[in-house]
Amino acid sequence: MIDLPRTVDFDGERVILVDQRKLPQELSFVECYDIECVASAIRDMVVRGAPAIGATAAFGLALHSKRIGAEGRDELLKELRRAADILRSTRPTAYNMFWAIDRVMRAAESSKDAEEMRRRVEEEARSIAEEDVRANIAIGEHGKSLIKEGYRVMTICNAGSLATVWFGTATAPLYTAKMQGIDFEVYVLETRPVLQGARITSFELKRAGIPVKLIVDGAAGYVISEIGIDLIITGADRILSDGTVFNKIGTYTLSVLAKEHGVPFYVAAPTSTFDPLSRREDVRIEMRDANEVAVINGKRIAPDGIAILNPAFDRTPPENITGIITERGIIGKPFEEKIKLIGIRGASP
Ligand SMILES: CSC[C@H]1O[C@H](OP(=O)(O)O)[C@H](O)[C@@H]1O
DSSP for 116-183, please give it.
HHHHHHHHHHHHHHHHHHHHHHHHHHHHGGG--TT-EEEEES----SS-TTS-TTTHHHHHHHHTT--
Which long-range contacts (C-beta less than 8 Å, at least 24 apart) are formed by 117-122?
117/65, 117/73, 117/76, 117/77, 117/80, 118/65, 118/66, 118/76, 121/61, 121/62, 121/65, 121/80, 122/10, 122/12, 122/62, 122/65, 122/66
For residue 113, how far is its CA from the centre of ligand 1 (angstroms)?
A: 37
Q: Ligand 1 atom 14: the closest Cα is on which residue?
A: 159
Same domain? For 316 and 276 the reply is yes
Please write the tens of the pLDDT for every residue from 242-280.
999 999 999 999 999 999 999 999 999 999 999 989 999
The Cβ of residue 231 has, within 10 Å, a number of other Cβ atoms equal to 23
Mean pLDDT of 144-162: 90
Same domain, 40 and 101: yes
Assign 167 a pLDDT band (cuts: 50, 70, 90): low
Catalytic residue, chosen from 132, 237, 275, 314, is 237
Could you tell me the distance, in angstroms and rounded to a whole number, from the CA of residue 307 to the centre of ligand 1? 25
Q: Comparing C-alpha atoms, which of 72, 76, 133 is closest to residue 104?
A: 76
Q: Per the domain annotation, does 36 fall within a domain? A: yes
Which of 44, 48, 190 is the best mutation target for the ligand 1 pocket, counting ligand atoms within 8 Å of the beta carbon and taking the most? 48
In tens, the pLDDT along 42-51 reads 999 999 999 9
Range of the domain at 132: 8-138
Please tell me the number of Cα atoms within 13 Å of 145 on its side-chain side.
Answer: 8
Cα 108 to Cα 102: distance, rounded to the nearest angstrom: 10
Quote the pLDDT of residue 10. 96
Domain boundary among 111, 138, 165: 138
Minimal-distance CA residue to ligand 1 atom 5: 49
Is residue 139's pLDDT more than 50?
yes
Count up the domains in the chain and report the number. Answer: 2
178 with 86, same domain: the answer is: no
- Residue 69 Cα to ligand 1 midpoint, Å, equals 35
Same domain assignment for residues 132 and 154: no
Q: What is the DSSP letter of 319?
A: G
Q: What is this structure's pTM?
A: 0.95
Q: Is the CB of 270 under 6 A from ligand 1?
A: no
49 lines ligand 1 (CB under 6 A): yes
Q: Please check whether residues 98 and 79 belong to one and the same domain.
A: yes
Q: Is the CB of 159 under 6 A from ligand 1?
A: yes
Q: Residue 5's pLDDT band (boundaries 50, 70, 90)?
A: confident
21 and 117 together in one domain: yes
Measured CA to CA, the distance from residue 226 to residue 194 in angstroms comes to 27
Q: What is the DSSP string of 268-303?
A: E--GGGEESS--GGGPPPPBPPTHHHHEETTEE-S-
- Residue 348, in any domain of the structure: no
Residue 338 lies in a domain: yes
Using the predicted structure, report yes or no on whether residue 163 has a pLDDT greater than 80. Answer: no
Active site residue 230: no
Q: Give me the CATH number covering residue 220.
A: 3.40.50.10470
Question: CATH number of the domain that 75 lies in?
Answer: 1.20.120.420
Structural domain contains residue 294: yes
Task: Reply yes or no on whether the pLDDT at 27 is more than 90.
Answer: no
Q: Among the atoms of ligand 1, which is closest to the Cα of residue 312?
A: 10
Ligand 1 atom closest to the Cα of residue 269 is 1
ipTM over 0.90: yes
Indicate whether residue 48 lines ligand 1 (CB < 6 A): yes
Both 93 and 163 in one domain: the answer is: no
**Domain boundary residue, one of 138, 168, 192:** 138
3 within domain boundaries = no
Domain final residue, candidates 108, 138, 168: 138
If one residue of 21, 98, 158 were mutated to test the ligand 1 pocket, choosing by the most ligand atoms within 8 A of its CB, it would be 158
Q: How far is CA 268 from CA 149, 168, 192, 281, in A?
A: 20, 10, 21, 23
Whether 1 is in a domain gets the answer: no
> 74 and 153 in one domain?
no
- The answer to whether the CB of 271 is under 6 A from ligand 1 is no
> Does residue 133 sit in the same domain as residue 146?
no
Q: How far is the CA of 277 from the centre of ligand 1 (A)?
A: 21
In a domain, 125, yes or no: yes
Angle (CA) 321-326-330 rounded to 5° is 60
Q: Which long-range contacts (CB under 8 A, 24 or more apart) does 178-184 make?
A: 178/208, 178/209, 178/210, 180/144, 182/144, 182/147, 182/148, 182/149, 182/151, 183/149, 183/150, 184/147, 184/148, 184/149, 184/150, 184/151, 184/152, 184/153, 184/210, 184/211
Contacts with 64 (C-beta within 8 Å, 6 or more apart), sequence order: 34, 35, 79, 80, 83
The answer to whether residues 127 and 149 belong to one domain is: no
Strand, coil or helix: 55 = helix
Q: How far apart, in Å, are the Cα atoms of 14 and each of 8, 60, 67, 268?
A: 10, 9, 10, 31
Cβ of residue 255 lying under 6 Å from some atom of ligand 1: no
Question: Are 61 and 184 in a shared domain?
Answer: no
Q: Is 173 exposed, middle or buried (0-12, 13-18, 19+ CB in 10 A)?
A: buried
Are 151 and 208 in the same domain? yes
Centre of ligand 1 to C-alpha 21, Å, is 13
Is the residue at 349 inside a domain? no
